[in-house]
C-alpha cells in the first residue's frame, strides 16, 4: 500500500517513456531488443583504458562546473575541424550529464512562462515535458514526407506558419531520431531567412552528429554565421563512443547563451564525472579520427540489416543517418503501430519503436523504428524473424 501523500502532478499525462516500456517488454518476453537505441558492442578499448587509468590516478573529486579544460579544448578542436566554427574554450562550451541534461538545462534557461516552443514531429520525447516544466507551451510542426514516400524533410513553410510573436525557441534534431532526416544547406539558409529580425532562439539536438551516411555531411547549425548567434547545440558522447550508459554530453553556444545555460546547469547537476571527462579528453587527443570512421562502421550495419530484409514484406529505404531503420509494414498489417510493435515483440520476438508516440497528430502511418546498432548474429536472427511475417 502506498502511504505517500497526494501531490498535484506537474506532468499529469506523462507516463513511462516508450523506450523503457518496450525494453521491459523485450526483457519479459525474451525478444530481441531493436527498440531502445543502444549498441550491443563495447566502447573502444583505448578509451576505457584511459578512464580506468584516471580512476586510479586521482581524478575522483569534483570537476569544474563547466567541464575539465582538456575536454573542452578537445571539443573545440573537433568543432573547428568538422564544422569550421571557432568556439571559445572558456566561455562557449559546457560539459553536461548526457544530452538529456543539456537539453533540459537549455530549455529551463531560455523559456519563460507563456513562451511558445516549436518542436518538430516526430519529436524526441524529452523536449515537451521540459518545456512544460519551464511554463512554456509546445507547438508541433510535422516533418514533411518526401515524394518518394520514405524520406522525411524539414517543412519550412509549416514552420513559418507556426511562428508568432510568442515563439521563443525552436527545437531541432538533425540527424533526426527516429526518421534519419538530415538538413541541407538550403534548410539552414531558409531557417536563417525565417528568423532574421526576430529574437527566436534555436536548440539543436545533434547527438547523432557523427552518424550520417552515403557521403553526406552533417550540417550543424554551428556552421551558419547567422544561425550560430541564436543557437545552443547539444550533443552526447553516448552515440559516438558506443556508450549510452555513460551519460556524458556537451552544450556549445555563444557566450551570452552559454552564461544562461550554465546558471541552470550548475544547479541541475553542477559538474560531470571527473575520470570520464579525463579519459574522453585523452582519447579524443590520441585518436582524433575515431568519429570519422563511424559513418562507414554504421553504414555497413545499416546495409547488412537492409540486405538481410530482402524478401521481407516491409517497405524500406536505407536510413540517411542515425542507427535506426524505419520500416513500413503497410503490406503486412493494418494494425496501429503501437499495438503492432507490442504484438510482434510477443509473437515473433523482435521489439521495435512506434513513431506515432512522438507526434501530436500522428501522421507517420504504418512505420516502425528498428535499431541496427547490433552485432551480426543479432541482426541476422532479428531479420530472419521479420522475414517470416
Q: Which residues bind ligand GLN (CB under 6 A)?
A: 17, 19, 36-37, 177
- Smallest separation (angstroms) from ligand GLN to the CB of 22: 9
User: 153, 142 in Cβ contact below 8 A?
Assistant: no
Residue closer to ligand PMP (CB basis): 173 or 345: 173
End-to-end CA distance of the chain: 43
- Residue 295 binds which entry of ligand PMP, ligand GLN, none, with Cβ cut-offs from 5 to 8 Å by kind? none
- 243: cell is 556508450
User: Applying CB under 6 A, which residues contact ligand PMP?
Assistant: 37, 98-100, 124, 173, 177, 205, 207, 236, 238, 244, 247, 249
CB of 79 or CB of 177, closer to ligand GLN: 177
Give 236 or 312: the residue with its C-beta nearer to ligand PMP. Answer: 236
Name the binder of 282 from ligand PMP, ligand GLN, none, CB < 5-8 A by kind.
none
- 22 phi-psi bin (left φ>0, alpha ψ -120 to 50, beta other): alpha
CB of 251 to ligand GLN, least distance (A): 17
**Angle at CA of residue 365, ends 358 and 191, nearest 5°:** 55
Counts of helices then strands in the chain (DSSP H, E): 14, 14
Name the minimum Å distance from CB 98 to ligand GLN.
9
CB of 139 to ligand GLN, least distance (A): 22
> From its phi and psi, is residue 50 left (phi > 0), alpha (psi between -120 and 50) or beta?
alpha
Q: How far apart are CA 200 and CA 115, in angstroms?
A: 11
Smallest separation (angstroms) from ligand GLN to the CB of 265 = 19
With CA atoms as reference, report the closest residue to 211 among 185, 238, 184: 238
* Residue 17, contacted partner among ligand GLN, ligand PMP, none, CB below 5-8 A by kind: ligand GLN
Please say which residue, 85 or 367, places its beta carbon nearer to ligand GLN: 367
In contact, 189 and 355? CB cutoff 8 Å: no
> Do 362 and 356 touch, CB atoms closer than 8 A?
yes
State which residue, 19 or 53, has the beta carbon closest to ligand GLN: 19
**Shortest distance, CB of residue 374 to ligand GLN, whole angstroms?**
13
Closest residue to ligand PMP in the complex (CB): 98
Toward ligand GLN, which CB reaches closer, 59 or 340?
340
Q: Residue 108: which of ligand GLN, ligand PMP, none does it interact with, CB under 5 to 8 A by kind?
A: none
Identify what 290 binds: ligand GLN, ligand PMP, none; CB under 5 to 8 Å per kind. Answer: none
Whose CA is closest to 166, among 134, 139, 132, 188? Answer: 139
What are residue 205's phi and psi, to 5 degrees? Answer: -85, 105
247, interface contact from ligand PMP, ligand GLN, none, CB < 5-8 Å by kind: ligand PMP
Nearer to ligand PMP, 99 or 280 (CB): 99
Instruction: Report whether 182 contacts 148 (CB < 8 A).
Output: no
Q: Can you name the residues that pair with 33 across neighbouring β-strands?
A: 351
Of 136 and 178, the one with the shorter C-beta distance to ligand GLN is 178
Q: How far is the CB of 37 from ligand GLN (least distance, A)?
A: 3
Determine what percent of the chain falls in helix, strand and coil, rounding each to the nearest 5: 40, 15, 45
Within 13 Å and on the Cβ side, how many CA atoms surround 224?
A: 25
Neighbours of 151 (CB within 10 A): 18
Residue 205: which of ligand GLN, ligand PMP, none does it interact with, CB under 5 to 8 A by kind? Answer: ligand PMP
173 makes contact, choosing from ligand GLN, ligand PMP, none, with CB < 5 to 8 Å by partner type, with: ligand PMP
Question: Toward ligand GLN, which CB reaches closer, 36 or 83?
Answer: 36
What minimum distance in Å lies between the beta carbon of 69 and ligand GLN?
29
State the Cα–Cα distance between residues 12 and 262, nearest whole angstrom.
29
Q: How far apart are CA 63 and CA 237, in angstroms?
A: 17
Residue 269 binds: one of ligand PMP, ligand GLN, none (C-beta under 5 to 8 A by kind): none
Euclidean distance between CA atoms 155 and 151, whole angstroms: 12
Closest distance between ligand GLN and the C-beta of residue 384, in Å?
23
Amino acid at each position: 500500500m502506498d502511504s505517500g501523500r497526494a501531490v498535484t502532478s506537474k506532468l499529469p499525462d506523462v507516463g513511462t517513456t516508450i523506450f523503457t516500456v518496450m525494453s521491459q517488454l523485450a526483457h519479459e518476453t525474451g525478444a530481441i531488443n531493436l527498440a531502445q537505441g543502444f549498441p550491443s558492442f563495447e566502447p573502444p578499448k583505448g578509451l576505457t583504458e584511459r578512464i580506468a587509468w584516471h580512476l586510479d590516478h586521482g581524478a575522483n573529486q569534483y570537476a569544474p562546473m563547466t567541464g575539465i579544460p582538456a575536454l573542452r579544448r578537445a571539443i573545440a578542436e573537433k568543432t573547428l575541424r568538422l564544422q569550421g566554427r571557432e568556439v571559445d574554450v572558456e566561455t562557449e562550451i559546457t560539459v553536461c550529464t548526457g544530452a538529456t541534461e543539456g537539453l533540459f538545462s537549455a530549455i529551463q534557461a531560455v523559456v519563460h512562462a507563456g513562451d511558445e516552443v516549436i518542436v518538430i514531429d516526430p519529436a524526441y520525447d524529452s523536449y515537451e515535458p521540459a518545456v512544460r516544466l519551464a511554463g512554456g507551451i509546445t507547438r508541433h510542426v510535422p516533418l514533411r514526407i518526401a515524394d518518394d514516400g520514405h524520406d522525411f524533410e524539414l517543412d519550412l513553410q509549416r514552420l513559418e506558419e507556426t511562428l508568432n510573436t510568442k515563439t521563443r525557441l525552436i527545437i531541432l534534431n538533425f540527424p533526426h531520431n527516429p526518421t534519419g532526416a538530415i538538413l541541407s544547406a538550403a534548410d539552414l539558409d531558409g531557417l536563417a531567412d525565417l528568423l532574421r529580425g526576430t529574437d527566436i532562439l534555436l536548440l539543436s539536438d545533434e547527438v547523432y552528429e557523427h552518424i550520417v551516411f552515403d557521403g553526406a555531411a552533417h550540417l550543424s547549425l554551428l556552421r551558419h554565421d547567422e544561425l550560430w548567434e541564436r543557437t545552443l547545440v547539444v550533443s552526447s558522447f553516448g552515440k559516438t563512443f558506443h556508450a549510452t550508459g555513460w551519460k556524458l554530453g556537451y552544450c556549445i553556444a555563444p557566450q551570452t547563451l552559454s552564461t544562461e545555460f550554465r546558471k541552470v546547469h550548475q544547479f541541475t547537476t553542477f559538474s560531470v564525472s571527473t575520470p570520464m571527462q579525463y579519459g574522453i579528453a585523452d582519447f579524443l587527443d590520441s585518436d582524433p579520427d575515431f568519429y570519422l570512421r563511424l559513418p562507414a562502421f554504421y553504414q555497413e550495419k545499416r546495409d547488412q540489416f537492409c540486405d538481410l530484409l530482402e524478401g521481407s514484406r516491409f517497405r524500406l529505404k536505407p536510413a540517411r543517418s542515425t542507427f535506426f531503420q524505419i520500416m513500413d509494414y503497410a503490406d503486412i498489417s493494418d494494425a496501429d503501430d503501437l499495438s503492432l510493435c507490442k504484438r510482434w515483440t510477443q509473437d515473433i520476438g523482435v521489439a521495435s519503436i512506434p513513431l506515432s508516440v512522438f507526434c501530436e497528430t500522428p501522421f507517420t502511418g504504418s512505420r516502425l523504428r528498428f535499431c541496427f546498432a547490433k552485432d551480426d548474429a543479432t541482426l541476422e536472427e532479428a531479420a530472419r524473424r521479420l522475414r517470416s511475417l
